[in-house]
Structure 1
Amino acid sequence: MTARSPRMTSSVAPNGSRSMRIVATCLLVAMAVVYGLARWGEGWQPASGPWIGYVRSFAEAAMVGGLADWFAVTALFRHPLGLPIPHTAIIPRNKDRIGDTLALFLRDNFLTPAVVARRMARLDIAAAAGRFLTAPPDMDGRLRKGASRLLADVMDALDDERLGGMVKGAIAHRLRGVEFAPLIGQALEAAIREGRHEPVMQAIISWASRTLDANEGLIRQMVHDRAGTVMRWTGLDETLANAIVSGLQKLLAEAAEDPDHALRQKAMEGLETLAHRLQHDAEMQVRIGRLRDEIIGNPAMQAWMESLWRQAREALLKAARDPRTALAGKFGEMLRQLGGMLEHDAEVRHLLNRFARRMAVGTAAAYGDGIVRLVSETVRGWDAHTITARLEQAVGRDLQYIRINGTLVGGLVGVAIHAVGRQFG
């Protein structure tokens, strides 16, 4: 990372940090001036009185404390006065170790499956989501606007290609872990048991009848082409074609009208056999699994998952940027109904919380190490000026308070030492 924005250089720290640095430096200079005046005033004793000693001690100790804390604060980020003093410029010299330590901290405390599972077990995500959807916070609140803007900025700043790849990979991984054959078999068995297959079978028979009517000419041509010369001379080929077409039309018409027709019964036996094999035949399940993997790996399926991710991302961005619109109209009413269900249906809450917990644990297990490596490699990729500027921007104001406190506390300690010296000297 060689190009740096001017905002990231240490010379333009935030206004708060810069102003506190000026205050701390001015306080140190003021102590030096007070010390000089006090030393000059001590020459006029006893006219000046014993108080001048206390002033001198305060200013002297304050200078020592202020200079010591200035050295300590400066040594974190650079060499004081540009001198290569050992154990200074600590952060630039150890940025790689800092990145590795930060990555290990994230992994050990946030991204291990055990930690994620323990934290998720204490969260009722479903109930929180239900309360939010049922009674969303004030749309005009500054906190809500800020949170929405932050969420939109974070989502917009994330690497779309890498994040999309992670989402697609997670979806594909979950799909490959699902055994579809037993699920399809159970659904088919339930449909047959409850009679819900009848409309489908009726639709298949109607489709077959329409297909037969649409291809009647093709059937007649096939019979004519395959009939012998004698049959064509005598016109028997046309008679045979008429018989075939009429027989098929009659068969389909009878099957459409009679629920107990032999054709329907045969189709029913085939469906029951298929449902049983899907649930209990290992070879059939392996074949369905291979078909599932081929479909998932198909470029068309990958493009579909890509489009799903992009649509979801755009919808989330739109909702984050304009939460008022997202929760208005029929869509908002649907979300409020969903929120009410999440609040009052314990079984749904349990299922959703369990799904969220498993998803979080699975994500931590699958991508925790990748996130850790990303943090470590990102910090390693920063140059010394960038990491110094970013850390100084984050904590610079507090560090300047340390300098101020060191100056004042040092002065008070100097006064105490001077008082003890006068008492027992």
Structure 2
Amino acid sequence: MRVPARAGFDIAPPGLTRMRMIATGLLLFMVALFFVSRTLVDVHPAWGFVRAFAEAGMVGGVADWFAVTALFRHPLGLPIPHTAIVPRNKDRIGDQLAQFLRENFLVTGVIARRMRQLDVAGAVAHWLTDPPEAAGGRFRAGASKLVAQVLEALDPQRLGGMVKAAAANRLRETQVAPVAGQLLKAAMAENRHKPLLDAAITWAGKALADNDHLIRQIVHDKAGALLRWTGLDETVANKLIDGLDRLLSEMRDNPQHPLRLRAENGLEILAWDLRFDPDMGARVERLKGELIDNPAMQRFLDGLWEAAREGLLEIARDPERAMRGRLGDVLRQLGETLHSDRRLSRTINRFVRRAAIGVAVDYGDNIVRLVSETVQSWDTQTITRRLENAVGKDLQYIRVNGTLVGGLVGLIIHTVHVALG
């Protein structure tokens, strides 16, 4: 399928049409000058020099017009061999262009060298701490408008589905158990788990107080008729509730309580199993998969993406207001942190560099294929116009230079001929 030219992509750059008219006008001027000087050559010998200049300039202009035209089309519509070079070889041009990109740009070594020269973190820090024109001006009128238009133009459901699928795939690929085990071990090493134990014990005590009637009912139902008749079931229930409450109080107040120590020992075992036990890892992965596939999680991811999209749209529509609010304070603080924390800046730059290299490795072939297939899908008129416009006025300068240089060469030859008699 050939893709026709589209308005906006194939408009001649400013000055190209004017330069083409100048080159053609200069050629026509040489033709006219040649015929005028030819009729006046017998009037004065100087007209011979003019005729030689015009004749050679005319030949040079026609030759260069032919050469430039032959690149993109058949001169005068005649199927002359080895003309219309670009249209005839556009598929090969697309392949060669794609291969050129692959071998010279989408190479990990090239990208790594280029990315090492870029201080992405420093640039972001500078922009966040000192936004150009108060985050308005050109940014608001240009980049922010473009971002807003792109976000609004993309299908929210399809894009959201892609984001959700990407997030879910990333979660599926991530081994949760070792990470959780490492986090739990680090938390216990710094005693950050103790407030959690205290909170759990406090919650258990509150739950016991709020549900003591359930314990009494269970004891009443399980007790025999004799205990119920004598009222001892109530006494047993009170003793049981008081004992549990006292146990929880002792665990909360005594860090060395045996049950509390056993709970901490259980957490240490859990941290070890999460990191090294294959069975525990498999159970966690199975639980993670069930959680990801849960409809509630899918709705959560949908809502998360929609909230993020709305936030991006709000920032893009009015970046100045966003920078004045709480988000602006956070972003400025982030910029100051990037300025002062060189270790963090190096980490971010290294991450960006690895991400760029990863994109080249993972999607380089797709990018190359996209370039090749796009060029091949263009019709001959489209690729001719786009390449001709891309080169711009330089081709017309070749015609002008050929006309003038040809004329000067002809003038020199005629001068030498006259001098040698």
Q: What TM-score bracket applies, with the shorter chain setting the length? A: 0.7 to 0.9
Partners of 2:68 and 2:306 lie apart in 1 by: 46
Partners of 2:273 and 2:16 lie apart in 1 by: 72
Number of residue pairs matched by the alignment: 419
Matches within 5 A, 1:15-34: 15-34=14-33
Specify the code of the residue in structure 2 equivalent to 1:350. R
Shift of 1:365: 1.4
Partner-residue secondary structure (3-state), 1:340: helix
Partner-residue secondary structure (3-state), 1:87: coil
Partner-residue secondary structure (3-state), 1:5: coil
Does the Cα contact within 8 Å between 1:24 and 1:401 map onto a contact in 2? Answer: yes
- Go from structure 1 to structure 2 and tell me whether the alpha carbon gap of 1:53 and 1:208 turns closer, same or farther (over 3 Å shift): same
Partners of 1:107 and 1:163 lie apart in 2 by: 28
- Go from structure 1 to structure 2 and tell me whether the alpha carbon gap of 1:91 and 1:160 turns closer, same or farther (over 3 Å shift): farther
Q: Does 1:247 align with 2:269?
A: no
Matches within 5 A, 1:123-134: 123-134=118-129
Shift of 1:254: 3.1
Structure 2 unaligned segments of length 5 or more: list them.
none
Matches within 5 A, 1:2-401: 2=3, 4-8=5-9, 13-42=12-41, 45=42, 47=43, 49-138=44-133, 148=143, 152=147, 178-227=174-223, 237-292=233-288, 295=291, 323-401=319-397
Identity %: 54
Specify the code of the residue in structure 2 equivalent to 1:347. R
Shift of 1:97: 1.7
- Go from structure 1 to structure 2 and tell me whether the alpha carbon gap of 1:348 and 1:6 turns closer, same or farther (over 3 Å shift): closer
- Go from structure 1 to structure 2 and tell me whether the alpha carbon gap of 1:293 and 1:134 turns closer, same or farther (over 3 Å shift): same
Does the Cα contact within 8 Å between 2:177 and 2:281 map onto a contact in 1? Answer: yes
Does the Cα contact within 8 Å between 2:140 and 2:316 map onto a contact in 1? Answer: no
Tell me the alpha carbon deviations over residues 103-156 of structure 1, each in whole angstroms, 9 at most, x when there is no partner.
212221222223222222333322333333333444599876786369648956
- Go from structure 1 to structure 2 and tell me whether the alpha carbon gap of 1:36 and 1:393 turns closer, same or farther (over 3 Å shift): same
Partner-residue secondary structure (3-state), 1:123: coil
Shift of 1:237: 4.9
Shift of 1:290: 4.7
Shift of 1:33: 0.9
Scaled by the length of structure 2, what TM-score is found?
A: 0.83
Pairwise CA RMSD: 3.6
Tell me the alpha carbon deviations over residues 323-363 of structure 1, each in whole angstroms, 9 at most, x when there is no partner.
54454344334333333332332222222222122222222
Tell me the alpha carbon deviations over residues 51-99 of structure 1, each in whole angstroms, 9 at most, x when there is no partner.
2122112212222222222222222222222222222222222222222
- Go from structure 1 to structure 2 and tell me whether the alpha carbon gap of 1:324 and 1:72 turns closer, same or farther (over 3 Å shift): farther
Tell me the alpha carbon deviations over residues 15-70 of structure 1, each in whole angstroms, 9 at most, x when there is no partner.
5222222222111111111111111112xx2x3x2221221122122222222222
- Go from structure 1 to structure 2 and tell me whether the alpha carbon gap of 1:66 and 1:38 turns closer, same or farther (over 3 Å shift): same
Does the Cα contact within 8 Å between 1:107 and 1:372 map onto a contact in 2? Answer: yes
Q: Decide which of 398, 405, 413 is 1:417's aligned counterpart.
A: 413
Shift of 1:402: 2.0
Scaled by the length of structure 1, what TM-score is found?
A: 0.83
Specify the code of the residue in structure 2 equivalent to 1:204. A
Does the Cα contact within 8 Å between 2:4 and 2:378 map onto a contact in 1? Answer: no
Specify the code of the residue in structure 2 equivalent to 1:5. R
- Go from structure 1 to structure 2 and tell me whether the alpha carbon gap of 1:269 and 1:7 turns closer, same or farther (over 3 Å shift): closer
Partners of 1:98 and 1:171 lie apart in 2 by: 38
Identify the range of structure 1 (181-190 vs 287-296) with the bigger mean alpha-carbon deviation.
Answer: 287-296
Shift of 1:172: 5.8
- Go from structure 1 to structure 2 and tell me whether the alpha carbon gap of 1:227 and 1:313 turns closer, same or farther (over 3 Å shift): same
Shift of 1:165: 7.6
Partners of 1:293 and 1:54 lie apart in 2 by: 90
Tell me the alpha carbon deviations over residues 157-179 of structure 1, each in whole angstroms, 9 at most, x when there is no partner.
99778987887677666655654
Does the Cα contact within 8 Å between 1:8 and 1:389 map onto a contact in 2? Answer: no
Tell me the alpha carbon deviations over residues 170-200 of structure 1, each in whole angstroms, 9 at most, x when there is no partner.
7666655654433322332232233222221
Does the Cα contact within 8 Å between 1:139 and 1:145 map onto a contact in 2? Answer: no
Shift of 1:316: 5.5
Does the Cα contact within 8 Å between 1:58 and 1:414 map onto a contact in 2? Answer: yes
Partner-residue secondary structure (3-state), 2:393: helix
Identify the range of structure 1 (177-186 vs 264-273) with the bigger mean alpha-carbon deviation.
Answer: 177-186
Partners of 1:231 and 1:379 lie apart in 2 by: 92
